[in-house]
Amino acid sequence: MNLNEEVELLKGVPIFSKVEQARLKLLAFTSERVNFGVGQEVCHQGDPGDTMYVILGGTADVLIDTPNGQISVAEMKRNSFFGEIAILCDVPRTATIKAKEPLATLKITKDMFYRLVAEFPEMAIEIMRELAHRLEDTNQKLRAATRAG
């Protein structure tokens, strides 16, 4: 997979959806591609996270710790991404991600992301707008839920 395809995948991430193509290309170029073998963990639930991953190929299990042990709650495939909030603020991983098939990812670190945002403030504005939309969306849902409840 080359750079241009990676950029297409990045565009699918909501917080990046409005960011200029050239910027995403730079983000993709400066980010590392990391492959995981079957059974390798990408991240572990509860660990501090500062990286987001975009899955370029393969499948991964999303596992959650329960009192009865780990259970698989979902599966991720190409185009999926996770940890996008972790590059905005430090949050612990909410799930363990484990490669089910050989997994190819694009690893975007907080540092690299911040550096680009510092360089191109309009990126921040696009992301803020996207986040505001999502917040508004959540608020509406909450209101609807309270009214319904």
Binding residue for other proteins, selected from 12, 22, 91, 135, defined by CB under 8 A: 22
User: Least CB distance from residue 71 to other proteins, whole Å?
Assistant: 23
Q: What's the sign of the alpha-carbon dihedral 60, 15, 83, 51?
A: positive
Q: Does the footprint of other proteins cover residue 125 (CB under 8 A)?
A: no
User: Least CB distance from residue 8 to other proteins, whole Å?
Assistant: 14
User: Least CB distance from residue 2 to other proteins, whole Å?
Assistant: 4
Q: Does the footprint of other proteins cover residue 37 (CB under 8 A)?
A: yes
User: Least CB distance from residue 66 to other proteins, whole Å?
Assistant: 26
Residue 58's SS3 state is coil
The burial of 47, by beta-carbon neighbours within 10 Å (0-12 exposed, 13-18 middle, 19 or more buried), is given as: exposed
Q: Does the footprint of other proteins cover residue 35 (CB under 8 A)?
A: yes
CA distance 124 to 88: 11
Helices 121-148, 110-119: crossing angle, 10 deg rounding: 110
Q: Does the footprint of other proteins cover residue 114 (CB under 8 A)?
A: no
Query: Applying CB under 8 A, what is the total number of residues that bind other proteins?
Result: 21
Q: Does the footprint of other proteins cover residue 36 (CB under 8 A)?
A: yes
CA distance 90 to 136: 22
> What are the residues facing 64 on neighbouring strands?
71
- Sites of contact with other proteins (CB under 8 A): 1-3, 6, 22, 25-26, 29-30, 32-37, 40, 42, 104, 115, 119-120
